[in-house]
Each structure stands twice: as C-alpha cells, then as structure tokens.
Amino acid sequence: MPHHDVFPTPDTVHWGHLDARRRPVIEIDPGDTVTIHSVSGSPSEASRNPTHSIRPELQAIHEALAPSPGPHILTGPIHVRGALPGDALRVEILDVRLRDDWGFNIVRSGKGALPHDFTQDETLHLTIDREASTIATPWGMVMPARPFFGIMATAPKPEDGCLTSIIPGYFGGNMDNRELIAGSILYLPVSVEGALFSAGDGHASQGDGEVCLTAVETGLSGTFKIDIIRGAKLAMPYAETADHLIVMAFDEDLQQAAQAALRFAIEMIVERTHLTSVQAYSLCSMAADVRITQIVNVKKGAHVMIPKALIVQGANKV
C-alpha cells in the first residue's frame, strides 16, 4: 500500500486546537501507511533551552503561528477517503521514534496534581540519546525512553466548534495514555467525513498520571497504518496491545472517569463473550487493572486493562 510522510511546517500543523473545519493537509486511502513527524515546545521553552539545537521547522512555526487556545502543536489533519460519521478509524501504531536530542518538563504554579504545593514555575531541559533510547535528567539520572504520542485524535463533531487541545474527549485527543506505544492499535470514533486524523504532543517518557503537568515533551516520528471500520458507532476511543484491551474514559472527577471506564469495560466483555454483566463486573475485579491515565488535563483520564486471554476464554464458554 502507498506510504506518505507529513512533516511539521506552518502549513501542516495546527497549534492548540481541534476543529472539524480545518482543511486536511493530505488525503490517504484506507490501508495506507503514513509517518507523522512532530515538534514540541513554545518559544518560551525553546529560548530557555541552554545546550540543545532547535529544529528550524519549530522556529518557523513559532514565527508564523500562535497557540490558540491550547499549547500543543499537532501535525495534520489527515483525510482518510471514505471515512464517514459513525465509522471508526483503526490506527495501528507501527513505529514511534525519537526525533530530537532535546526534551523538556514543566512545573507550573496552580496546575498539575499538586497545584498549591509548588509556587515556583520550573522548566527542566533533558538530553535525549536517540541511539541509546535514553533520557538524562539535570540531576544525573538516566532513564529509558518509551516514546508515544500524547495526542492522537479525529476531528470533533462540527457542532462542537473549535476545541482546546488540552481536554480529551470522545474524539481521543490529549489522552496521554502511555500504553499507546509502537505495536498497539487505537480505535477512534469518526465524526466528520474523512475523519481528519491528527497527532502530536510527543512524549519520550511519561508515568501514569503525568502528575506535574507534562511528560518528557519532545518531537517524534510515528508511522501509522490507518483503516476504517464501517458502522462501528463508537462512543469513546479504545485500544489494544498484544495482551490487553484498553478502554478509556474522561471526566473532571476522577471517580466518575474510573466508573465510566469500568462500565465501558463491562460492556465490551459482555459483547465479546458469553458472560453476563455481573460476571463481567466480577471478572474486572479479579483480573483487570483500573489505572489512572492522567490527572492534569481538566478532564482526568482512567483506563481499564482487560487481559485478552480471558476474553478468548469467555468467548469459548458454553
């Protein structure tokens, strides 16, 4: 199948928002592969970077565009021919590679999981060794990189207008789910013709919760194989890895997000097995993991990790 590359330029990115009215930067057919290259960082973060080079395309974006209303630079959108509202995109993440030797992490007073505990704004600059796939902190620790895109999204419904890139939702967006590395598959609802897929907010590494506000923010190159599932009628995104189904939900109240994700998990188990809802509820308590995705994006995220081996067993239950 054909392969496409989309590089970040002032003409191929949108900064801080998702909007069904955006013109696509490229059109692809279902089954095509596309490599999306991303950049991260505002002029403030870039100008405070003491030792690392900044890509010329990031500087060009800074000169030509301004963030509105969120901070994330997203590459796209990509029009997938034939995708219609009610369908779903099947986004197979074939590869995610570190693109830059620089990453940053931000602490902001009044934000993050502990908004009142730290009153001094901080920006940490980190050195990324792409060959070794490691990240060096200013205080001397070396961590393994585990790159993934914090934001992968279809366009929101036209009636929802222009939405900030900060808040995740039914379209995906700023999910910050660290499980969505190379080898995973993401399923996203389609709300507009062509789906209009975008990606950005590259993370070299992140812990569950993303507690101080950001991860190791950096530029990435991600290769995706994008297909259409007709008439899927997804209410929310979900994902799968080799071993797990991952259902997600978002709410300003973390308890509500966890409960919504759990209900989604029960529904999925019932649909894919011969179990009743109460049996699925018990199975989640015995074998699934309810995890905090992030607690910093206004709407907090929770996800449930369902072992696929148990789904297979349940489907074969007489």
The pLDDT tens digits for 277-309 are 999 999 999 999 999 999 999 999 999 999 999
Residues of each domain in the chain carrying CATH 2.60.120.580: 3-229
Give the CATH class of 243-315: alpha beta
CB distance 166 to 116 below 8 Å: no
Q: How confident is the model at residue 317 (pLDDT cuts 50, 70, 90)?
A: low
pLDDT value for 53: 80
Per-residue pLDDT of 235-256, as tens digits, reads: 999 999 999 999 999 999 999 9
Mean pLDDT of 101-110: 96
Is the confidence at residue 233, as pLDDT, over 60? yes
The pLDDT mean for the chain works out to: 97
Q: In percent, how much of the chain has pLDDT > 90? A: 95
Domain 3-229: give its CATH architecture.
Answer: Sandwich (2.60)
Q: What is the end-to-end Cα distance of the chain in Å, rounded? A: 41
Burial, 208: exposed, middle or buried (Cβ in 10 Å; 0-12, 13-18, 19+)? middle
Distance of alpha carbon 144 from alpha carbon 128, whole angstroms: 10
Quote the pLDDT of residue 104: 96
pLDDT of the residue at 49: 76
pLDDT at residue 318 greater than cutoff 60? no
Model confidence, pTM: 0.97
What Cα–Cα distance (Å) separates residue 213 from each residue in 52, 67, 230? Answer: 22, 18, 37
Phi/psi at 69 (nearest 5 deg)?
A: -90, -5
pLDDT at 265: 98
Given a cut of 90, is residue 224 above it in pLDDT?
A: yes
Closest by CA to 78, choosing from 32, 17, 15, 10, is: 32
d(CA 296, CA 201): 14
Average pLDDT rounded to a whole number, residues 172-183: 98
Q: Which two tokens stand for residue 218?
A: 């950096």
Residue 42 has pLDDT above 80, yes or no: yes
**Cβ distance 175 to 152 under 8 Å?**
yes
Contact 22, 196 (CB under 8 A): yes
Residue limits of CATH 3.10.28.20 in the chain = 243-315
